[in-house]
Amino acid sequence: MTKQKADVESKKTGRKKFFNYLVKFWLLYFIGLGLLITFFYGVANEWFGPMPGFAELENPKSNLASEIFSSNGKLLGTYFIENRSNVTYRQVSPYLINALIAIEDIRFEKHSGIDQRAIARVIYGLLTGKHKGGGSTITQQLAKNLFPRGHLTKPQLVLRKFQEWVTAARLERYYSKEEIIAMYLNTVFFGHNAYGIKSAARTFFNKTPDSLNLQESALMAGVVNAPSHYSPILHPQTALQRRNLVLSQMAKYGDISRAVYDSVKQLPLGVSHFTMQNHNTGIARYFREFLRGRMKKWCKTHFKPDGTSYNLYKDGLKIYTTIDTRMQRYAEEAVREHLSQDLQPAFYKQWQGFVHAPFTFKGTRRQIRKQINKILQQAVRRSERYRIMQKAGISPDSIQMAFTKPARMTIFSWNGPIDTIMTPMDSIKYYKFFLQAGLMSMESRTGFVRAYVGGIDYRFFKFDHVTQAKRQVGSTFKPFLYTLAMQEGYTPCFKVPNIPYSVKLANGTYWTPHNSDSRRIGEEVTLKWALANSNNLISAWLISRFSPQSVIKMARKMGITSDIPAVPAIALGTPDISLFEMVGAMNTFSDKGVHIKPIFVTRIEDKNGNVLQRFAPERNEAISEITAYKMIKLLEGVVESGTGIRLRYKYHFDNPIAGKTGTTQNQSDGWFMGLVPQLTTGIWVGAEDRSVHFRSIKLGQGANMALPIWAIYMNKIYNDPSLGIKRDEDFSKPLKNIDIEFNCEKYDKQHHNGVDDEGTKKDEF
């Protein structure tokens, strides 16, 4: 073979080999492409495991917190497993959108879920060791959030990554860019129990997402990459560097100018309003806990379209309440101001130097110690520490020993929580000294509860003194007796001899109550004067004219549901009744004889805003309009010249007020019920144990313990014109003309004589 022929053959062989290589290349390419297409087709069609469908993408199964809203549109709190609430794109600050795109996915607006350039960058980094950022887009991160990985093996993790790619592509197909970024911000975790931007904005800045400024938005955008590592609370310096990196990226891509960047990067993190969102923080904590119980019952009897009952902690319910955050804040401030500045210091001072303080038992020292120990042991068994140890199977003796060993703890004080070391038993004794309080305020015409204070601090004292507690009501029960008298035709100016009266009991003996003072004994006094001064003798006369059963029936009509023993002594206020019941009942007088059951919730919506149920007040005509007006005039006498007169001379109220003080045996409970035309408010003050109380009536009466809280609260209300509660409004008169004299002074020879507050001389104060 010649050289020429050899060259020709060589070229033919080369072309043949090249052709073979080319065929193999394209064959392998198309086979690989086919396999890749088949693989992704298999992923999309769930050959390798389930994928979230359109319905799941539309309604991701994330745990949504149920939100509680006030009547004036403020978020009171949430019930949650994950503290997560959703927002729309328009409810997010533009600064945050720009910051997130700048730091996480600058080509977000251009790609279709997968950023090829970012993937190439990651591959290059793996091959060279020069990592220059991640490859996941915001859409892929959203897919990851909607499709949790859990505990996966490496092969499963690789497969899951491809599943997330498919999910990201579906998201881009079904949703707009605005919807995707809003969904991402709703699903991402920001640390500190904050899921989603709405919870995060409230947790870190006490703001809504749309009000976040530039530096706050940059911080939030930076946190999402590693919430623990970049936490501004745990690692402020690292968080500051990360925030400034976000600002630098925003300047790089033209979202902000270089001058703005140079200025803003100097600012502090601005997380002074950080509050870990939980059930122990925020406003109206006792109300939120009370509402939780009501809502859990509601959820059990109301069902979703799939037939399952609603879950308060997962289904994102929206609960619209009657609470007004302004009035709630004023109520909480009023309780705090009076107890922390006046009442509690006076209580400490009165018990200073007493061995068994603050308990008031009689008997030998041994008997007193035995009674005190009984109370302390009851407190031990009611404590959370005891329940936890008992549930763990620890023996009673070991539990008792644990209560005598010093331990690190945080305890309540009016100046703020104190971290200290003391024995659990000493902490129980410490807490026995604190006076508690309850306040409920409702709108007279609607029955809407506007303020609800169940105690002095929910974090340390969980017991609710509005709805849970039932305490002896003292003279605040007397209006039910007088209401019966007014209904039966008596008038406020009807006169009765002020002398002792005896009432025969079922066992044949006689009950003869007495007053704590001898004012106007033997004189004839009007019913208005008698109620104004909490006169026990006239109450005995009235109960002898009617019967305990008749008084109980009247109380029932006005909303009292607690057990009331049918004995004459109820005329002096021996029954145990909740503050909730008392406020609802007393409001009957303001609402022209119609009893309105206090209402807390106006409507409940699902997570999409569909109304599930609306609520309206329950009303019943308890007494006639004329009887109600008579009682208003009687109760105005309490403030004009009786036990509530300090509202005039000390707190300088000159507007129409009807009220009633109440003080129980040994000053264990102090009450004040205050009525103005638009609001009915009740207040109780006392210690956890009835054996703990002031040693004198001067400090322990309702006019000193509870009435000042009402005065502070109402002053704040009247000074806030946005509430629309007018100081000069008067109680409305019945439409029917009534020929009744209410100015009883013309019938009294002796008027108010310098005595108020359950028989205590004014000049003692």
Token reading at 594: 């119609």
Token reading at 539: 């109450």
List C-alpha distances in Å: 539 to 486, 503, 563, 629, 744.
Answer: 13, 11, 20, 20, 18
Q: Is the pLDDT score of 160 beyond 70?
A: no
Residues 437/685, Cβ–Cβ less than 8 Å: yes
- Amino acid 757: pLDDT: 45
- Output the average pLDDT for the chain: 88
In angstroms, how far is CA 544 from the centroid of its own chain? Answer: 45
Confidence of residue 760 (pLDDT cuts 50, 70, 90): very low
Longest dimension (CA), the chain: 155
Token reading at 587: 């409001």
Confidence of residue 138 (pLDDT cuts 50, 70, 90): confident
Report the C-alpha gap between 287 and 706 in whole angstroms: 20
Q: Is the pLDDT score of 96 beyond 80?
A: yes
CA atoms within 13 A on the CB side of 662: 33
Q: Is the pLDDT score of 92 beyond 70?
A: yes
- Amino acid 187: pLDDT: 86
Q: Is the pLDDT score of 493 beyond 80?
A: yes
What is residue 635's three-state secondary structure? helix
Q: Is the pLDDT score of 755 beyond 60?
A: no
**435-764 in CATH: which number?**
3.40.710.10
- Amino acid 742: pLDDT: 87
Residues 220/200, Cβ–Cβ less than 8 Å: yes
What is residue 187's three-state secondary structure? helix
Q: Which position has the token pair 């793996």?
A: 126
The residue-averaged pLDDT of 284-299 equals: 96
Report the C-alpha gap between 203 and 90 in whole angstroms: 20
Report the C-alpha gap between 131 and 119 in whole angstroms: 12
pTM across the whole model: 0.85
pLDDT over 90 percentage in the chain? 69
What is residue 506's three-state secondary structure? coil
**How do residues 207-236 score in pLDDT, each as one tens digit?**
999 999 999 999 999 999 899 999 999 999
Which phi and psi angles does 127 have, rounded to 5°? -75, -35
- Amino acid 689: pLDDT: 93
Confidence of residue 119 (pLDDT cuts 50, 70, 90): low
- Amino acid 42: pLDDT: 54
Of the given ranges (120-134, 498-512, 558-572), which has the lowest mean pLDDT?
Answer: 120-134
CATH class held by domain 84-276: mainly alpha
**In angstroms, what is the C-alpha Rg of the chain?**
36
**How do residues 310-333 score in pLDDT, each as one tens digit?**
999 999 999 999 999 999 999 999
Report the C-alpha gap between 133 and 555 in whole angstroms: 73
Intra-chain end-to-end CA distance of the chain, in Å: 136
For 253-324, where are the alpha helices, taking DSSP H only? 258-264, 285-300
Q: Which position has the token pair 């909303």?
A: 559
Cis omega before residue 209 (within 30°)?
A: no
Residues 480/558, Cβ–Cβ less than 8 Å: yes
Confidence of residue 171 (pLDDT cuts 50, 70, 90): confident
**How do residues 432-455 score in pLDDT, each as one tens digit?**
999 999 999 999 999 999 999 999
What is residue 306's three-state secondary structure? coil
- Amino acid 759: pLDDT: 41
Q: Which position has the token pair 């509530």?
A: 644
Helix %, strand %, coil % for the chain, to 5? 45, 15, 40
For 362-417, where are the alpha helices, taking DSSP H only? 365-382, 384-391, 396-402
Angle, CA of 534, 539 and 542, to the nearest 5° = 145
Q: Are strands 435-443 and 679-687 parallel, antiparallel or unpaired?
A: antiparallel
Report the C-alpha gap between 71 and 320 in whole angstroms: 7
Confidence of residue 1 (pLDDT cuts 50, 70, 90): low
Q: Is the pLDDT score of 536 beyond 50?
A: yes
Which phi and psi angles does 320 have, rounded to 5°? -100, 115
What residues have CB less than 8 Å from 765, skipping those under 6 apart? 646, 650, 698, 757
Report the C-alpha gap between 306 and 316 in whole angstroms: 16
Report the C-alpha gap between 68 and 243 in whole angstroms: 32
**How do residues 23-35 score in pLDDT, each as one tens digit?**
776 677 666 666 5
What residues have CB less than 8 Å from 88, skipping those under 6 apart? 182
Q: Is the pLDDT score of 546 beyond 80?
A: yes
Token reading at 750: 């002796």
- Amino acid 326: pLDDT: 97
The residue-averaged pLDDT of 277-287 equals: 86
